[in-house]
Amino acid sequence: MSTPDTTPKVDASIADRFTLKAFVEACLVLEEGVAGVRDIDMGMMLGTGMVPGPFARADFRGLDEVLAALENAEREWGEHFEPPVILRRLVAQGRLGAKSGQGFYPYPQVESGYETAPVKLDMRDDVAVVWLDNPPANSLSPDVIDGLRKAWEDLVARGARAMVLASPNPTLFCAGADIKAFTKWDADSGREHLEKIHALGRQWEGSRVMTIAAVNGMALGGGCEVAMACDVRLAGQSASFGQPEINLGIIPGFGGTQRLARLVGPAKALEMNTVGDPISAEEAYEYGLANRVVADHELFDAALSWGRKLAGQAPVALEQIKRVSHAGDLDEGLAAERDGFMKAFTSEDAREGISAFIEKRKARFKGR
């Protein structure tokens, strides 16, 4: 005689009902301004074990499919399943989630040859999206810098009129330089690396291609510096900006001693570079480091809108505006920054600071 199956049977409609209701409630919290998309997803994952969170889950399912499921649920289970306004708006805009390249979060639509690259190119008409995709921290390793240059040269050759620099990681833009790579530098290789980074930033600033950084989370150290090399910085509400190099016993080396002062003023730049603490998106906007602060789920769409607007401006005029706006002593300042960085980088304090960071301990600086 066979043993009866006592395994509990789970009705799939029950699981779907709970998932849909969680999504509706998450949308209400978002629409009321209680929290942003990222914070709601993170709270649901940490607090309820719902992985992925409701917004990411909906993106992967397809927002049009979620809308259809909610319309059916409203008919079957009542008004508490009425599709949220924000969902209807996103679907009407064609933001259907991962399959369309944008939903509550953005998703790369990668050009051929960039599928596994740490920097991915995504052409959207005459706006090129360059994705920093070097998990877990999007650190600016030498490979990433080379990838940025390759993508830049490619998008220029393809006739792009604007570039959006973005991150597919929902929690950060770029946490900075690859500190472990520093351990392989000597005076000559370190200077060569800095010169490559400075040259790329100056190409961006002298080009008729307009550049927009879509900063969706932490932009620290090199991440803040690469954003500052862009013409426009848009910040999601969860964004933060900082230059924490002082905590390693070194100085900003990717342009931070020069561009930051030009954007926020010498006093605030000196504070940020010597204290090392990050500032919020709102404070960045207040001081002129961010051009706009927008809701996290609207950041990528806003960046594309800026890109399309700027791509339609007169290219020659754009190039000349950028060229004369960046005229002056910036190149001399960057040269001085390279000298200062190498002097700090080759000090005993720098070796101690980098070692302490890698070993996750407090640095003991001795002033030599």
345 vs 93, 140, 269, 356, CA distance in Å? 49, 17, 20, 14
Catalytic, out of 245, 282, 283, 298: 245
Instruction: Return the SS3 of 332.
Output: helix
Distance, CA of 216 to CA of 239 (rounded, Å):
5
Closest residue by Cα to residue 200 from 162, 167, 226: 226
Q: Is 352 a catalytic residue?
A: no
The CA distance from 204 to 225, in Å, is 13
- The single residue of 225, 298, 332, 337 carrying the catalytic annotation is 225
d(CA 112, CA 136): 23
* φ/ψ (deg, to 5) at 110: -80, 140
Q: Where are the beta strands (DSSP E) in 216-311?
A: 218-220, 232-236, 240-242, 279-280, 292-294
Q: Residue 319 catalytic?
A: no
Chain position carrying tokens 């510096």: 225
Q: DSSP letter for 58, please.
A: H
**Nearest-5° Cα angle at 325, 323 to 327:** 70
Residue among 53, 21, 59, 51 at smallest CA distance from 36: 53
Beta strands in 196-246 (DSSP E): 210-215, 218-220, 232-236, 240-242
Question: What separation in angstroms does the CA of 226 have from each of 76, 241, 244?
Answer: 51, 11, 14
Residue at token pair 């500052």: 228
The two tokens of residue 214 are 């879509």
Given a contact cutoff of 8 angstroms between Cβ atoms, the answer to whether 221 and 179 are in contact is no
Tell me phi and psi for residue 48, to 5 degrees. -120, -10
Point out the residues that are catalytic. Answer: 225, 245
